[in-house]
Amino acid sequence: MNESDPLLDRELLGQAFAALGQRLERHNVRADIYVFGGAAMILAYGVDRATRDVDAVFNPDGPVLEAAAEVAEALALPRWWLNSQASVYLSTAEDGDAPPVFDHPFLRVQAASPRHLVAMKALAARAQDREDLHVLIDHLGLTSPQEVFAIVQEVFPEERLSARKQLVIEDVFHARE
């Protein structure tokens, strides 16, 4: 990644997924993509910003990556605009509430559900996650840090929130008062 790479906002993400769907159709490949992170916040939860890449998992892997490379060239995006590098941070629990954010006859894109995203953001607890935590907490109607802690345990039963991360979550709630 470098600073000169274009930022993907809602409009450019839509164009990229439309172009990806067209390329998959030309190759007669149907694909599913599950996005999380910044792209999910933009596409599913109305956050008005841009991201440098789309963190996702996709199936089938090879044909999607090939088509994404064609889209990168056509739209002057970085080759890695769509990648699965952050997939190690996903829960192994099924996300049955993942909302659709883009639909094409050959491409279905879903975003991580708010419960899965709030758990991921809580586990990361980086400074840049605070705004997203506010949005997701409001979206879910959560009223206490303990509700976030319970969601983390539900989505990531094998993980434990450190004391520092618990304080970050508590600070998010205190900032809302």
- pLDDT higher at 102 or 3: 102
| pLDDT, mean over the chain | 94
Query: What band does 174 get if pLDDT is binned at 50, 70 and 90?
Result: confident
Task: Give per-residue pLDDT as tens, 9-42.
Answer: 999 999 999 999 999 999 999 999 999 999 999 9
Mean pLDDT value of segment 45-60: 94
Task: Give per-residue pLDDT as tens, 92-142.
Answer: 999 999 999 999 999 999 999 999 999 999 999 998 899 999 999 999 999
4 has pLDDT over 70: no
Q: From CA 33, how far away is CA 75, in angstroms rounded?
A: 19
pTM of the model: 0.93
Are the C-beta atoms of residues 119 and 156 closer than 8 Å to each other?
A: yes
1 has pLDDT over 60: no
Instruction: Give the pairing of strands 31-36 and 54-59.
Output: antiparallel
- pLDDT higher at 6 or 100: 100
Q: From CA 2, how far away is CA 83, in angstroms rounded?
A: 16
Q: What share of the chain is helix, strand, coil (3-state, %, to 5)?
A: 55, 15, 35
Nearest to 32 by CA among 87, 102, 92: 102
* 34-59 CB burial, b ≥16 within 10 A, e <16: bbbbbbbbbbbbebeebbbbbbbbbe
DSSP 53: S
Query: What band does 175 get if pLDDT is binned at 50, 70 and 90?
Result: confident
